[in-house]
């Protein structure tokens, strides 16, 4: 499912009086809320759906696949998603 299909699904769920633009704004608001939550608290938990969290990646050695040269990969942060029980149950 891509974003356009998700917008159509949200519009259908909200009813016939909801426009496509309103459904898209609702999705954007949720995504912005998740982004701000991750930036501020580093953890966003949606009961029954899952948890978004920030994880630290340590500095490590790697290999450039084109030149086979050894390189040093800097430490970084990444977003991790762990599915909740409700989401796992529907699979």
d(C-alpha 19, C-alpha 12), whole Å: 9
Confidence tier at 34 by pLDDT (50, 70, 90)? very high
d(C-alpha 52, C-alpha 76), whole Å: 17
d(C-alpha 54, C-alpha 58), whole Å: 13
CB 52, CB 77: distance < 8 Å: no
Q: Phi and psi for 50 in degrees, rounded to 5?
A: 165, -175
pLDDT tens sequence across 35-85: 999 998 789 999 999 999 999 999 999 999 999 999 999 999 999 999 999
In this prediction the pTM is 0.76
Domains of the chain listed by start with CATH number: 1-39 (no CATH), 42-91 (4.10.520.10)
Structure tokens at 27: 């999705």
Confidence tier at 3 by pLDDT (50, 70, 90)? very high
């Amino acid at each position: 499912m891509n974003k356009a299909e998700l917008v159509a699904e949200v519009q259908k769920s909200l009813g016939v009086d909801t426009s496509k633009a309103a459904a898209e704004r609702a999705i954007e608001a949720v995504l912005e809320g998740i982004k701000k939550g991750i930036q501020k608290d580093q953890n966003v938990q949606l009961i029954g759906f899952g948890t978004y969290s920030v994880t630290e990646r340590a500095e490590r050695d790697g290999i450039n696949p084109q030149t086979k040269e050894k390189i040093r990969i800097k430490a970084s942060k990444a977003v991790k998603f762990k599915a909740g029980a409700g989401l796992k149950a529907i699979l």
